[in-house]
Each structure stands twice: as C-alpha cells, then as structure tokens.
Amino acid sequence: MTVLAKQRLKWFVPTFWVVAFLLDGIISYTFQGFLFQYPVMISTQLFLMAIVRTVYRFPAARWLLWVALIIGLFYDSFYSGIIGYYTFLMPAVVIFVRWITNYLPDSPLFQGTVYLLVLFGVEFCLFLLNSFFGNTGDFSIFITYDLGPTIAVNTLLFAALYYPLTLLLNKVSD
C-alpha cells in the first residue's frame, strides 16, 4: 500500500464503519414489520460485516482496534444507552479476525465462514450478557427465533454485498 492509500484508509475506515452502524438502525426501522415480527427478531449486523471485511483486507493496520472501540462505544450509547456490549465485543472481533487471517486465504468462501463464525459468537455473547442482566427470554426462543433468522438474513446480506464491498475496499487501497 502506498503512503497516500494509507492516509486515505485513515479517514475511509471510520466513515465506512459509522455509515454501516447507522444503516443497521435505519434498516431495522424501515423494515421493522419484517425484521421484528414477534416472536421472530432479526438483528442486522452491517457494522459487524464492515469490521470483518475491513480487518480481513487490511490485517496489518493495528489502529483498527481503537477505531472499533470508539465506534463500538458510540453504537452502545446511541442504540441502547448501556455501554459495554459493542464497546468490548467489536475490538475482540478485530483481534480474532486479524489472528485468523494468518491461517486462512483471502477468498469469498473463507471470508464468509469467518463472518458467520464471528456473527454466531457475537450473537451468543450478546444473549449471554443480556440474560445475565435479566433482559432476555429463554435459550430455546433465542436459538429458534433470534439466532437462526439473524444468521440467515445476515448471510444473504453478506453474499449480496460481497462484490460491491470488495470493489470499494480495492479502490481505497489502490
């Protein structure tokens, strides 16, 4: 990567992640009739997808960890008002993806697998933390009505956005 591309990355990544995090809420609100059809509750995770895609593409950029921490903090503060969930989980995702890129090649299939793994992990951690603080239903409800549909919808979003995002990330690093 050239020096210019590195500088470009420094403003591109925060903007890209902030837009993705705001789009999560906007999509949830615009399609609430479909996404929150009780008991089914689907959470869109574009912010998480943006993090996985960016870190997978630029694993050497160590500062991504701090960007994830700060935007995670904003995410918690803006959406739930309870700070701690995304503030800590998103930097953990950055560390995990950076570690796993050492062993897996950069291909759509592997990126998809890592994204699904991370999505599963994050959703599961969120459920555990929420149930610890008395904010959730049963585990069986979580598996059937939350985790399953959430993974299905987010996999579709990942597949649909794979090539547009690849083009965008390539353009930035040129």
Partner 1 sequence: MSKFFSNKKLIILLITIVAMIGLIAISINVKDRRDTPPLVQQIGNDAAGVASSIISAPINSLHTGLTAMVNLVNTYQDNEQLKQQLDTLDQVKETNATLKRENQSLKKQLHLNATLTDYKQIDAAVITRSPATWQNQVVINKGQVNGVVKNMPVMAGSGLLGRVVEVNKTNSKVELISTSNKATNSFAIEVRLSNGKYLDGIVSGYDANKKQLIISQLDNTDGVKAGDEVTTSGLGGLTPRGLFVGKVSAIRKDDYGLTNSVYVKPAADINDFTVVTVIDRTVEGE
Binding site for partner 1 (CB under 8 A): 18-19, 22-30, 32-33, 36-39, 41-45, 74, 76-85, 87-88, 92, 99, 103, 126-127, 129-130, 132-137, 141, 145-146, 150
The residue among 36 and 110 lying less far from partner 1, judged by its C-beta, is 36
Instruction: Tell me how far apart the terminal alpha carbons of the chain are, to the nearest angstrom.
Output: 7
The residue among 32 and 170 lying less far from partner 1, judged by its C-beta, is 32
Closest separation in Å from C-beta 46 to partner 1? 9
Closest separation in Å from C-beta 120 to partner 1? 14
In whole angstroms, what separates CA 116 from the centre of its chain? 10
By residue count, the chain amounts to 174
Tokens of 60: 């050497």
The CA dihedral of 3, 8, 11, 16, to the nearest 10 degrees, is: -130
The residue among 4 and 38 lying less far from partner 1, judged by its C-beta, is 38
The residue among 136 and 166 lying less far from partner 1, judged by its C-beta, is 136
Alpha helices in the chain (DSSP H): 3-30, 32-35, 46-57, 64-75, 85-100, 108-132, 139-141, 148-173
Closest separation in Å from C-beta 117 to partner 1? 14
